[in-house]
Amino acid sequence: MAKADGRQSIFITGAASGIGAETARLFQSRGWFCGLYDINEAGLQDVAAEIGAYNCHVAKLDVTKRDDWAAAMAGFSEATSGKMDVLFNNAGIGRHGWFEDIPPEEADLIVDINVKGVINGVYAALPLLKATKSARIVNTASTAGIVGSPRLAVYSATKFAVRGLTEALDVELSELDIRCTSLMPWFIDTPILDMGLTEGANVKMADEIRDQGQEVYPVSLAAETAWEAAHGKDIHYMAGKMAKRARFAARFMPGRIKKQITQGLPPRD
């Protein structure tokens, strides 16, 4: 088993692709030891090969299963001598479409992964975080946690929940020398944007975003913002200029932003 050998360490869920994988690359390049966890074992092995086996601990993790969390924490603890500088609760899924077209079972899974998965992670990681000076939790939320996003209603609700949990825990855990922050990206070029309106659909969410003339930011921007969230003094870290504009508009011009969103919606079939 690879060992941290005194290096700072980060535990990353959803590490097989997208923001999680890019964050692992970035932190490892800056001397950190990375725990890589996902349900996609092949993707994990690819990322591990890229950053080097000496620099990471790898294990399959379904964030909805507490037994998986316990096993992953045990392995990470052994590799880091019982320390964890950052827990990066990044795993998440979404489903794009009108609310009534999303099967309830899929809505359940979005909630289970995006909300319960984060809560499970905090419970599982607390012993290691408490044992580490100036530890931090970084939760991946979204701009959809600032502005309610139609045709992403359940996803948006989960990200509002993550935002609220983050703010509460940042206060609650402060006396334990643990900060809690969130990463709140705009649309990032990751596999989650491959969501279609229907199973097997050729038109993906990314296509609609670009057709509307909206920005899709590179995953490297989200990873750099995750670095800031792991080190900075704020609570929420917006990834992308559009994310910052959305936060401003939601606070000071809610009527205007609702009108813009409504105008951008396609007609129902």
pLDDT tens-digit profile of 136-166? Answer: 999 999 988 888 888 899 999 999 999 999 9
- Predicted pLDDT at 198: 45
- Predicted pLDDT at 147: 83
- Predicted pLDDT at 128: 98
Domains annotated on the chain, with CATH? 9-263 (3.40.50.720)
pLDDT tens-digit profile of 24-59? Answer: 999 999 999 999 999 999 999 999 999 999 999 999
- Model pTM above 0.85: yes
- Predicted pLDDT at 257: 58
Residues with Cβ < 8 Å from 144, sequence gap 6 or more? 152, 155, 156, 159
Whole-number average pLDDT of the chain? 88
Going by pLDDT thresholds of 50, 70 and 90, the confidence category of residue 123 is very high
DSSP label of 15: T
pLDDT tens-digit profile of 159-170? Answer: 999 999 999 999
Choice among 1-10, 51-60, 83-92, 202-211 with the minimum mean pLDDT: 202-211
Residues with Cβ < 8 Å from 258, sequence gap 6 or more? none
Radius of gyration of the chain (CA): 18
- Predicted pLDDT at 3: 95
Active site residue 217: no
Choice among 70-79, 114-123, 183-192, 236-245 with the minimum mean pLDDT: 183-192
Collapsed DSSP state (helix, strand, coil) of residue 190: coil
pLDDT tens-digit profile of 191-246? Answer: 665 554 444 443 445 455 544 556 767 899 999 999 999 999 999 998 877 777 76
Q: Which of 37, 54, 155, 237 is catalytic?
A: 155
For residue 38, give the nearest of 119, 87, 102, 92 by alpha carbon.
92
Q: 117 and 91 in contact (C-beta within 8 Å)? A: yes
Distance CA 160, CA 108 (A): 16
149-160 b/e (C-beta count within 10 Å ≥ 16 → b): bebbbbbbbbbb
Helix (H) or strand (E) holding 149: none
Choice among 78-82, 112-116, 192-196, 246-250 with the minimum mean pLDDT: 192-196
